[in-house]
Structure 1
Amino acid sequence: MKTIIHISIIGVIVGLIFIGCEDGKVELSSGNKIDTQTLKEAESMDKVSYAGLESVFLDTKTIASNGKPMLLIFGKNNCTYCDKLKDDIKADAQLQDLLTNHFATYYINIDYSKIHHITFDTTKDPIQIATSDLAREYRVRPTPTLIFLDSTGRAFFLYPGYITPAKFQALLQHTRELKNVDSKDIESLTNKLSALIA
């Protein structure tokens, strides 16, 4: 019985390979050459996730601290609370100002596959990592998930789920100067930040 199910599944997959993508938008290339336009479209698919916030969220192809604390916001498509968080940011000029001027802020859509080149203040060569591996690295479960890092790449606070604008603003105000957090201070800092937004 299991063999029949496995053969059926393989048949469906093989069938989809030959039937799928007949709308003319996707073409198989000969060799390793991909035209520039196709490559650009694939690399920027995730930008649709944060349309209207391009001035707040930086392009995730290159993730760099640039001497600022970092904020990675992990989200996905059809996530009600991700959309609510983005709407809150769009509607609040103070949130936009804090995110733009005091943080290296990135919205990472885990529904898209992308290779990110990450550079912290202490790294010489960029670290290359796929979106799924990056989410796994930070143990992202619910979306949105906010990961705060110092400029050296040390994660010092993780907030899984939606956060109200007032609490988000308080969190940003208290973390905007944290460019270098000592590892021995992370536990007390996490407790302080958790109490601030409780």
Structure 2
Amino acid sequence: MPATEPVPATALFRLARSAAFAAVALGLSVGAHAFAGGTVTVRGAAAGLALAFAAALPATGRERGLGMILPLLTGVQATLHLMFAATAPVAAVDSMAGMAGHSGLVPGLAMLVTHGWAIGLTALWLAHGEALLWAVLRRLGARFTPVLAGEPSPVPGKPSGTPRRDGPAAPRRSPLRHVVSRRGPPVPATFLL
């Protein structure tokens, strides 16, 4: 299968890719939120996982690159941040308001820069993983497509060329390319005075 032809994704494969994206997006969001001193409830994490899964599912029909993954991950991260901040207990919101870079629903500049770096690196990681996955699938598809289509495998034929005699082959008589011959009498040296 040529590298330029898109490989269609089955429903099970799309669900698995959406689940992987949702797990990475939720892990990044929960980790960043907890690192900033916020708390995430189990109900908020479950809702965030469902939200990330639902956002990723329409994009998994074919191979996606960084141009699609980065905006999708950015949107999911912003939505999860707002959702976690809105569902945080009141005591946690008050303690987060005193922290540098975070004041309730509105993130500060330090948090935006930190989230930007984390989202950018995670999107690069996901894009490289996506490219590797599809490259492997293309190679496997090219190798197993004839088998799955029921085409017969090529039967090895007789080797072309002269028939071999029984026994060892005769040694080759071609000269070696990089041999320097030093046999014979020494060459007289002539000195010019």
What TM-score do the two structures reach when normalised by structure 2? 0.20
Larger fraction in strand? 1
What TM-score do the two structures reach when normalised by structure 1? 0.20
Larger fraction in helix? 2
